[in-house]
Chain A
Amino acid sequence: MFGFVRLAIFGFIGLSVIFVLVRIYARSLRREALEDAWAEARSGDALYQTQEAYVAEGMRAYDKSLRRKLIWLVYVVPTVLVVAVIYLMNYT
């Protein structure tokens, strides 16, 4: 049982590191996309806003988006994989 607890603890730590890194990366991509969208805008709100305001507004929308919540899959997918492997290896 000790081995299982150790796997769970280190697995959780490892996945947490990945989770944080992916979140920073995804955020950075979104910010870059917003900056580019502002720079290339020919019409719409972007023309009447500073770049900072436009990006800040975009990031507020991003914080509530489904896309950002999907990063929780970093925890879900490996767990499901492990359960699937345990089932396939031992019960089929």
Chain B
Amino acid sequence: MRYVKWGFWALVAIFVALFLSYNLPRHDIVRVVGTEVRRVDFGENSMFWASADVGSASGTSRDVRFINTVRPNGKTLVFRNEDTGWGWPPYFKLDSSDLQAQAESLISTKADPIWVSITRYGWRSRWLTIFPNAVGLKQVSGPDVRIIPWANIIILTLLVLLILTIRAMWRQFRQRSIDPLFDDASEAWDGAEERANGWFNKLFGRKR
């Protein structure tokens, strides 16, 4: 039972880590080498693409804006540039066209590079053909500039506070509303309750 418990929590931890890794904003310092729009037919990777631009109809095939970039170490990094609109993740990005224009205005050559910091969420996977979604773009002085991830600091702090609050609420509820019920019941009930709660407590319970 102990391994089941560990396994369960390990799975939860992995799932949460993947979820945060995909959805939280991150920064890449890159040089924009070009932008393009190309038609994409979504298949099994459709959940890694946003929906159609706000105000337009949705389908299984659509033109998507891309920003092609090169990192300081010479490796390429391709971003998609899609509206997130009112859906998930909640970036409320409605200005893909403007971002595309901004990216175009910052195209530079290897000889005379303009470095930009692209804020993005999502992963690049060649196997799934998925691209991180660029949500913001800012010119920076050089490839070594240090960027403090304020958004992540704030979001993660709020998340920890939220979890602690839920925990406190649950404990209060348990202490004030559930425990008194069992205190009143006769002793004959204790055995039955113990058995019924056994598997639940082993999975979620605190050590007594």
Contacts and interface: CB of A to CB of B under 8 A. Distances in A.
A22 B172 CA distance: 12
Contacts of B172: 25, 28-29, 32
B55 to A, nearest CB: 7
B92 A86 contact: yes
Contacts of B87: 3, 7
Interface string A1-15: 101101100000000
B85 A89 contact: no
B173 interface: yes
Nearest to A31: B176
A6 B85 CA distance: 12
A90 interface: yes
Contact of B93 (A28, A82, A90): A90
B143 interface: no
Nearest to B51: A3
Interface residues of B, number: 20
A28 B136 contact: no
Contacts of B67: none
A3 B93 contact: no
A1 B85 CA distance: 10
B90 interface: yes
Contacts of B54: 3
B85 A3 contact: yes
A7 B136 contact: no
A19 B142 CA distance: 47
Given A25-B169, A25-B172, A89 B86 contact: no
Interface of A: 1, 3-4, 6-7, 21-22, 25, 28-29, 32, 82, 85-86, 89-90
Given A28-B172, A89-B135, 7 more contacts: A1-B55, A28-B173, A82-B92, A85-B90, A86-B92, A89-B92, A90-B94
Interface of B: 51, 54-55, 85-87, 90-95, 98, 135-136, 168-169, 172-173, 176
